[in-house]
Structure 1
Amino acid sequence: MEGVRGSGSVRIYDSTLRDGQHAVRHSLNAQQLRRYASAADTAGVPTVEIGHGNGLGASSLQAGRATLTDDEMLSAVREAMPKSEMAVFMLPGWGTANDLTMAIGHGADVVRLGMHCTEADIAERHLGFVRDAGVKAQAVLLMSHMASPQRLADECAKLAKFGANAVGILDSSGHYLPLDVMERIKTICEAVDVPVLFHGHNNLSMALANSLAAIQSGARIIDACARGFGAGAGNAQLEVLVPVLSRMGYETGIDLYSLLDAADLAESELMTAPPKIDSVSVVSGLAGVFSGFRHRVQDISKEYGVDSRDIFFELGRRQVVAGQEDLIVDVALELRGMLGKNSGRVAPTQ
């Protein structure tokens, strides 16, 4: 990448206590949430996101039942973060205005709305609601590899017009390479006059490289998680990202030693094991499938006797997105029916 040295500041958005929930089937309890939130606050992390992996209102049989309700999670964390902003995430359709009212009532400083990469229009009403409530509103496009750079820029421009204070993209499946990110972020930055953000997953071991590519292309809000805790193979690793940014000349305002302490706490108290890039993660990234499908695909693979890799590639071929978890069973049944005719192997698409 050109221009190794940078200048200015980058705002870190810590999604350990939201995206990390995917890795432990949304089972974090109040004490775990409080202890990590307090450690992040001590380190000076600007914004910490809390909630079910799929956001407000998502605790369900389809997306996974959380140990705590949204209300309980936010109640547990707010007083533990006197300095850091408390953020929540919501996918319109999972959550409603009532969920937003509840979160804002608990002191949420930032509301981030997510939607499929070509569906910015569905966020207009919710962004207006958040704006009228006097809370910072962010908007992100999910499964962003499914749309062209220009289409992403056009959708982000709509979101900014609707009132988003920051806009950007999620690499929901860990599919991107740095050049993919650079092209998209540059195009978005040219289309909007609000800060641009990026959220990377590590299925192909590119989360940190992609985050740096985003910054060098104009992004100024970057998501990361302690120890990379997150869906699939995890996210950009927070305690690595921050010192790397410092070496590159970017300021984050985060204390390194306290951040390392928070990461150690996250590994010992939040997760059964740090994320790793295993065979399933690689296939999910190549197929361009939402990382949060991992556990569901593995469970159904065992139940129906179908190779999980075949399921992922077929889900990718169909461009299945979050909220369509029921299709995983349909795919498994179809692949099982093919086993008597051939290997059932579905060729990966490039």
Structure 2
Amino acid sequence: MPVVILHDSTLRDGQHAVRHQLDRTQIGAYAAAVDAAGVPVVEVGHGNGLGASSLQVGRSKISDDEMLTTAREAMPHASLAALLLPGWGTTGDVRNAVRLGVDVVRVAAHCTEADVTERHLGAVRELGAEAQGVLLMSHMASPGELAEQCALMAGYGAQAVCLFDSAGTFLPEDVAARVRAVTAAVDVPVAFHGHNNLGMAVANSIAAVQAGARILDACARGFGAGAGNAQIEVLVAVLERYGYRTGIDLRALADAADLAEETLMPAPPTVDSTSLVSGLSGVFSGFKKPVLAAAAQHDVRAWDIFVELGRHRVIAGQEDLIPDAARAVAAQGAGR
């Protein structure tokens, strides 16, 4: 069986669940624990990536520099990764991140807009770091379209390409079809990042590997936006049951997950009704908290706001449309 590389995004995607308020102590302790467990790549930063700390999507408790430096100092073995979304982050942020010790930079775009990643992927390669291309909200494109977009990113210099199930809406057969199409179109490793809104994140990740993916994203206790991500300690255990090799010490990883539950999160994520409708509607999992706030303000159901957002095919980065959707639901008379 081939080796599967795990990317632990607890300290980046998990930030969505705590309004980006992780501090130095929390980041340093968890980074040290997963480094000791042999996790090969650890992604750190604001939930929306480099340069994203803002009033619109939430201010981080500490700066990008502090987060990256803290994690780098705590990890003598693991590669340090960062996410960048053009429009939030700049090539200047890329240069600064690499200077601070980032080894892998993932440049992300909406699933049909790979062309916006060209300059940033080129900058990562020029700086000597590993460049990876990410397609967000990948359920909004067909397998063939995703293959074309991933081929573009590989042409721009991406050394791996990743499909994010940002809304947690896929079933295993959806993932398999897309991963097969992408692996046939590119000569670089394919990655998959699953969310758990329908309770399928681990199953979808296994489907991705069986279809040819060689990199999987996951988080301790599933810590992440909405209903959370694939649960890394469970995913590693299941991969081992299937015979895949990860190079991770599962016992030490379980200890790191216990630490994460104790120190990073108010409670492990669950598939509640809000997360469920997010997955059914195909709406970004990170909208959960602002949708709940808008529902309370306008005295409407969060479920109905998600349905309205899904009807308009709203994507990550369009948080400013949530109040409009809440007002539209209120005008329709769909109160609590």
- TM bucket (normalised to shorter chain) is over 0.9
Counterpart selection for 1:57 from 51, 62, 80: 51
Counterparts of 1:4-83 in structure 2 under 5 Å?
7-83=1-77
Distance 1:309 1:67 in 2: 30
Aligned length, in residue pairs: 336
Match of 2:234 in 1: 240
> The residue matched to 2:221 in structure 1 has which SS?
helix
Q: Is 1:179–2:173 an aligned residue pair?
A: yes
CA deviation string 1:213-241 (max 9, x = no partner): 00000000000001000000000000011
Task: Give the residue type in structure 1 aligned to 2:177.
Answer: E
Structure 2 unmatched runs, 5+ = none
Counterparts of 1:1-350 in structure 2 under 5 Å?
7-339=1-333, 343=334
Task: Give the residue type in structure 2 aligned to 1:299.
Answer: A
Cα offset, 1:344, TM superposition: 6.7
Distance 2:233 2:332 in 1: 46
Distance 1:142 1:162 in 2: 17
Conserved? CA contact 1:310–1:344, under 8 Å? no
Conserved? CA contact 2:105–2:129, under 8 Å? yes
TM-score of the pair, normalised by structure 1: 0.95
Match of 1:348 in 2: none
> The residue matched to 1:299 in structure 2 has which SS?
helix
Distance 2:328 2:239 in 1: 47
TM-score of the pair, normalised by structure 2: 0.99
CA deviation string 1:119-159 (max 9, x = no partner): 00000010110011010001110000000000000000000
> The residue matched to 1:201 in structure 2 has which SS?
coil
Distance 2:236 2:4 in 1: 9
Structure 1 unmatched runs, 5+ = 1-6, 346-350
Distance 1:300 1:251 in 2: 45
Distance 1:196 1:262 in 2: 26
Task: Give the residue type in structure 2 aligned to 1:271.
Answer: M
Cα offset, 1:167, TM superposition: 0.3
Distance 2:162 2:263 in 1: 31
Task: Give the residue type in structure 2 aligned to 1:110.
Answer: V
Conserved? CA contact 1:16–1:226, under 8 Å? yes
Cα offset, 1:304, TM superposition: 1.0
Conserved? CA contact 1:227–1:267, under 8 Å? yes
Distance 1:23 1:34 in 2: 18
Cα offset, 1:168, TM superposition: 2.0
Task: Give the residue type in structure 2 aligned to 1:40.
Answer: V
Conserved? CA contact 2:299–2:335, under 8 Å? no
CA deviation string 1:305-347 (max 9, x = no partner): 11111110110111111111110111111221221xxx479xx
Task: Give the residue type in structure 2 aligned to 1:161.
Answer: G
Distance 2:163 2:110 in 1: 10
Instruction: Give the % identical residues.
Output: 62
Task: Give the residue type in structure 1 aligned to 2:14.
Answer: G
Cα offset, 1:243, TM superposition: 1.5
Cα offset, 1:38, TM superposition: 0.1
Task: Give the residue type in structure 1 aligned to 2:240.
Answer: S
> The residue matched to 2:96 in structure 1 has which SS?
helix
Distance 1:158 1:311 in 2: 35
Conserved? CA contact 1:91–1:113, under 8 Å? yes
CA deviation string 1:230-282 (max 9, x = no partner): 00000000001112111111100000111011000000000000010100010
CA deviation string 1:19-49 (max 9, x = no partner): 0000111110000000000000000000000
Task: Give the residue type in structure 2 aligned to 1:83.
Answer: H
Conserved? CA contact 2:69–2:101, under 8 Å? no
Conserved? CA contact 2:274–2:303, under 8 Å? yes
Conserved? CA contact 2:6–2:215, under 8 Å? yes
Task: Give the residue type in structure 1 aligned to 2:279.
Answer: G
